[in-house]
């Protein structure tokens, strides 16, 4: 789960990492009120779950409350790479002398958290990695030993931070970042830029924060930060109904049972020249209600023009799936063509059920390949 900048900064603040004071605003008036409260210059920041907001015009300095209101008016509603701005973070503006970068990610290859620190912050880290890879100090932390101060010093010398006061402050932040990362079950904590003010204060000016979804059950406060309005309607539905669903960008809705079969089905749709609209796994033991729920989720996506069912009955009984399809047709009034390929446990019975009801938009096929071809044809 990705957090907004202001949410990540709230977690940083709890762990003692210095951040600027700010307020959330959803209207230009609220932005003005926040600027009035702070007095002086503020920065108006689009809160969207994507980076590069500055370049996209989503971050603007404002010199007065009236200016903050005007800038808020400009930024609200802006589309930043598909993310519409609905919330702003109004922050006391900082003066910047230097921009550094620090992050902690989980390196799956090494099975360890990985630090990256560089004095070349403010820009994309990928760009620094390409142009000047030696400028980035990298260091893995053994999760059993935890973070040790000598590792912090190694990072700081590696990145070439020379000022003694900066060294002290960055060392402190780097240690707190590790505590925050571990305590929040984060997958990523990134500060870009980590600034040094003209007075020599080091502070986090941005935050990118990703928390492991599988650990959210033990972080009720973080789980609550999820902003459902930022998700497409079908993803909200999937979460609500407990359906395993991943949105893709094509027009053939794909429904299988078991992750392996469903992924193969996505591949076969692509193989015959189609474009899958999603990955949806019914799981084992799919009940009729499970099928109805899954179909409701898939068809909430307006891009779906045909649906491909690929079921191999093991624990899942094909007749139960067939009943689910008929029930969904009745309950949801689906009009999209549904191609059905069923095999395995009770497949005969399932085919009988579908043949008897013979809904006009259900098309049985005997093999996975034929079914995929048919679904792609019907989507065209």
| Catalytic residue positions, numbered | 101, 190
Pattern 19-48, binding to ligand GDP, x per CB under 6 A?
Answer: ------------------------x-----
- Residue 122 interaction partner, one of ligand GDP, Mn ion, none, beta carbon < 5-8 Å per kind: ligand GDP
Q: Is 53 in the site for ligand GDP (CB under 6 A)?
A: yes
**Number of residues forming the site for Mn ion (CB under 5 A):** 2
**Residue 300: is it exposed, middle or buried by C-beta count within 10 angstroms (0-12/13-18/19+)?**
middle
201-220 residues near ligand GDP, rule: CB under 6 A: 205-206
Buried b (16+ CB within 10 A) or exposed e, 188-207: bbbbbbbbbeeeeebbbbbb
- Residue 136 interaction partner, one of ligand GDP, Mn ion, none, beta carbon < 5-8 Å per kind: none
Q: Is 192 in the site for Mn ion (CB under 5 A)?
A: yes
Where does this chain touch Mn ion (CB under 5 A) — which range of 165-173, 188-196, 281-289, 322-330?
188-196
**CB closer to ligand GDP, 93 vs 300:** 93
**CB closer to ligand GDP, 51 vs 344:** 51
- Residue 344 interaction partner, one of ligand GDP, Mn ion, none, beta carbon < 5-8 Å per kind: none
Q: Is 59 in the site for ligand GDP (CB under 6 A)?
A: yes
Nearest approach in angstroms of CB 45 to ligand GDP is 6
Q: Is 103 in the site for Mn ion (CB under 5 A)?
A: no
Q: Is 9 in the site for ligand GDP (CB under 6 A)?
A: no
Which of 8, 22, 152, 193 forms a contact with ligand GDP (CB under 6 A)? 193
Q: For residue 168, what are the contacts with CB-CB under 8 A and spacing of at least 6? A: none
**CB closer to Mn ion, 122 vs 344:** 122
Which of 5, 206, 281, 320 forms a contact with Mn ion (CB under 5 A)? 206
91-130 residues near ligand GDP, rule: CB under 6 A: 93-94, 96, 99, 122
**CB closer to ligand GDP, 81 vs 140:** 81
- Residue 261 interaction partner, one of Mn ion, ligand GDP, none, beta carbon < 5-8 Å per kind: none
**CB closer to Mn ion, 30 vs 206:** 206
- Residue 135 interaction partner, one of ligand GDP, Mn ion, none, beta carbon < 5-8 Å per kind: none
Distance CA 321, CA 280 (A): 14
Q: Give which of 371, 362, 299, 288 is closest to 327, Cα–Cα.
A: 288
Residues in contact with ligand GDP by the rule CB under 6 A: 43, 51-54, 59, 61, 93-94, 96, 99, 122, 192-193, 205-206
Residues of this chain that interact with Mn ion (CB under 5 A) are 192, 206
């Amino acid at each position: 789960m990705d957090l907004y900048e202001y949410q990540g900064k709230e977690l940083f603040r709890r762990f003692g990492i210095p951040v600027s004071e700010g307020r959330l605003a959803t209207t230009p008036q609220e932005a003005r009120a926040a600027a009035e409260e702070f007095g002086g210059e503020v920065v108006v920041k689009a809160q969207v779950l994507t980076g590069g907001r500055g370049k996209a015009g989503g971050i603007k300095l404002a010199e007065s409350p009236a200016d903050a209101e005007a800038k808020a008016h400009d930024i609200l509603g802006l589309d930043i790479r598909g993310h519409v701005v609905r919330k702003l973070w109004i922050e006391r503006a900082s003066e910047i002398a230097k921009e550094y970068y620090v992050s902690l990610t989980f390196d799956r290859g090494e099975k360890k958290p990985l630090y990256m620190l560089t004095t070349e912050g403010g820009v994309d880290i990928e760009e620094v990695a390409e142009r000047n890879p030696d400028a980035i100090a990298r260091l893995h932390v053994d999760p059993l030993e935890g973070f040790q101060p000598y590792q912090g010093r190694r990072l700081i010398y590696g990145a070439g931070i020379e000022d003694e006061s900066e060294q002290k402050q960055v060392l402190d932040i780097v240690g707190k970042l590790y505590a925050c990362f571990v305590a929040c079950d984060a997958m990523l904590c990134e500060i870009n830029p980590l600034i040094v003010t003209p007075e020599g204060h080091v502070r986090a000016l941005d935050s990118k924060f990703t928390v492991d979804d599988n650990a959210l059950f033990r972080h009720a406060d973080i789980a609550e930060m999820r902003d459902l309005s930022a998700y497409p309607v079908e993803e909200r539905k999937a979460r609500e109904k407990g359906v395993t669903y991943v949105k893709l960008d094509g027009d053939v809705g794909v429904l299988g049972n078991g992750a392996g079969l469903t992924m193969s089905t996505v591949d076969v749709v692509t193989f015959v020249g189609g474009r899958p609209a999603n990955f949806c796994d019914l799981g084992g033991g799919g009940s009729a209600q499970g099928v109805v729920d899954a179909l409701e989720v898939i068809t909430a996506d307006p891009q779906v023009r045909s649906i491909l069912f690929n079921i191999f009955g093991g624990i899942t009984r094909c007749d139960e799936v067939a009943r689910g399809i008929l029930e969904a047709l009745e309950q949801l009034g689906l009009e999209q063509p549904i191609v059905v390929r069923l095999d395995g446990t009770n497949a005969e019975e399932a085919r009988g059920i579908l043949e008897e009801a013979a809904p006009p938009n259900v098309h049985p096929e005997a093999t996975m390949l034929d079914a995929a071809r048919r679904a792609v044809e019907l989507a065209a």
